[in-house]
């Protein structure tokens, strides 16, 4: 009986297993089938998810498309003032000035030197001079790593290029700042290169033209940056004592420590149209004085009206205007 019982038990077990398997198969096939047939239903349930996905995807697709449309192979640049798409080649030929509204785009120091100096006459000075991390500055990233990053991205060693070249008939000492290198900030290298240029010009009796664009003194070098303000001005004072001309050109933006030192002591101070020029930023002044600032505050046009600068000169006219001034200021002297 026991055997029978066992047999029965085993058979029932087998049967049960069998039925269970069948059931499982049935259910799986059922679910499979139901999944297959209910393909429309999931479309009803997932809408939120698929809807979300399509919602999330759509803007991405459209934005990437519009980006592609805006910058097709880097041929066009959108003017921030008039929103016109300007052909890059046209922009380069026009010295980075918008052909529609005459907005002055930022221009690199090398491009600017190229636009002013007679071909193959520019001899660069102190091209290899680099900054030292005197304060062992620590922050989100170290000062040396920041310098390295900017050297790679700009191809410059620091924020100014100095040298002697011919502008028209005049051999001139030329210092041009570049905003793309750490915001054109003045550290010990900028100050030292400018001072050497000025002293060289004094020794050789050459006029000086300094073209500024800067956010001010470089905080990573602390007091050493601030000292450059006095140093450059002292060198310029000796240059002035020698009765030699210094023309300062302010471009967008020229602020803070640079504006408060060598940039504003020129015999003639010129500015590019629309350039932002000042010491502290407008927000800081507004918060400190609690007064409403007048329209156009800290623009070249505003400062021309208030007597701080002598003339606003569009970029394309800069070279002939500089030659005119140099002719005038060096009248009766031998042009280099
Ligand atoms: Zn424009």
In our burial notation (b when 16+ CB lie closer than 10 A, e otherwise), range 101-122 reads ebbbbebbbbebbeebbeeeeb
pTM of the model: 0.74
User: Which residues have beta carbons under 5 A from ligand 1 (an ion)?
Assistant: 79, 81-82, 98, 100-101, 103
Integer-rounded Cα radius of gyration of the chain: 35
Distance from Cα 97 to the centre of ligand 1, integer Å: 8
Q: What is the 3-state secondary structure (H, E, C) of the chain?
A: CHHHHHHHHHHHHHHHHHHHHHHHHHHHHHHHHHHHHCCHHHHHCCHHHHHHHHHHHHHHHHHHHHHHHHCHHHCEEECCCCCCEEEHHHHHHCCCECCCCCCECCCCHHHHHHHHCCCCCCEEECCCCCCCCCCCCCCCCCHHHHHHHHHHHHCCCCCEEEEEEEECCEEEEEEEECCCCHHHCECHHHHHHHHHHHHHHHHHCCCEEEEEEECCECHHHHHHHHHHHHHHHHHHHHHHHCCCCEEEEEEEEECHHHHCCHHHCCCEEEECCCCEECCCCHHHHHHHHCCCCCCCCCEHHHHHHCCCCCEECCHHHHHHHHHHHHHHHCCCCCCC
Distance from the alpha carbon of residue 230 to the mean position of ligand 1, in angstroms: 38
Q: How far is the CA of 305 from the centre of ligand 1 (A)?
A: 24
Taking the centre of ligand 1 as the mean of its atom positions, its distance from the CA of residue 80, in whole angstroms, is 7
CA of 299 from ligand 1 middle (Å) equals 17
Q: What is the pLDDT along the chain (336 residues), one digit of tens a residue?
A: 444 444 444 444 443 444 444 444 444 444 444 444 444 444 444 444 444 444 555 555 554 445 545 555 568 888 999 998 888 888 988 999 999 999 999 999 999 999 999 988 999 999 999 988 888 888 788 899 999 999 999 999 999 999 999 999 999 999 999 999 998 999 999 999 999 999 999 999 999 999 999 988 998 898 999 999 999 999 999 999 999 999 999 999 999 999 999 999 999 999 999 999 988 888 888 888 888 888 888 899 999 999 999 999 999 999 999 999 999 988 766 544
Distance (angstroms) between ligand 1 centre and the Cα of 211 equals: 23
Å from CA of 272 to ligand 1 middle = 15
């Amino acid at each position: 009986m026991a055997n029978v019982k066992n047999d029965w038990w085993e058979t029932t077990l087998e049967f049960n297993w069998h039925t269970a398997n069948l059931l499982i198969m049935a259910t799986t096939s059922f679910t499979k089938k139901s999944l297959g047939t209910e393909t429309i239903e999931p479309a009803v349930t997932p809408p939120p998810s698929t809807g979300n996905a399509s919602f999330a995807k759509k803007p991405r697709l459209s934005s990437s498309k519009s980006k592609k449309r805006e910058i097709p192979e880097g041929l066009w640049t959108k003017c921030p003032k008039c929103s016109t798409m300007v052909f890059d080649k046209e922009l380069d030929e026009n010295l980075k000035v918008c052909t529609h509204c005459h907005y002055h785009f930022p221009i690199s120091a090398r491009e600017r030197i190229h636009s002013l100096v007679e071909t193959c006459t520019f001899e660069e000075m102190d091209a290899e001079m680099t900054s030292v991390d005197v304060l062992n500055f620590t922050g989100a990233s170290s000062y040396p790593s920041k310098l390295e990053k900017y050297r790679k991205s700009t191809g410059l060693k620091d924020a100014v290029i100095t040298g002697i070249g011919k502008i028209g008939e005049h051999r001139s000492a030329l210092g041009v700042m570049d905003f793309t290198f750490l915001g054109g900030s003045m550290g010990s290298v900028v100050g030292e290169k400018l001072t050497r240029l000025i002293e060289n010009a004094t020794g050789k009796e050459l006029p000086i033209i300094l073209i500024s664009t800067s956010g001010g003194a470089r905080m990573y070098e602390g007091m050493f940056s601030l000292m450059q303000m006095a140093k450059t001005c002292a060198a310029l004072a000796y240059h002035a004592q020698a009765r030699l001309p210094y023309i300062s050109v302010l471009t967008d933006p020229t602020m803070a420590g640079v504006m408060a030192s060598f940039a504003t002591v020129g015999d003639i101070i010129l500015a590019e149209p629309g350039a932002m020029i000042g010491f502290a930023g407008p927000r800081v002044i507004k918060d400190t004085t609690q007064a409403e600032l007048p329209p156009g505050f800290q623009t070249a046009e505003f400062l021309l009206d208030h007597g701080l600068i002598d003339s606003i000169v569009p970029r394309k006219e800069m070279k002939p205007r500089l030659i005119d001034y140099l002719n005038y200021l060096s009248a009766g002297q031998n042009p280099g």
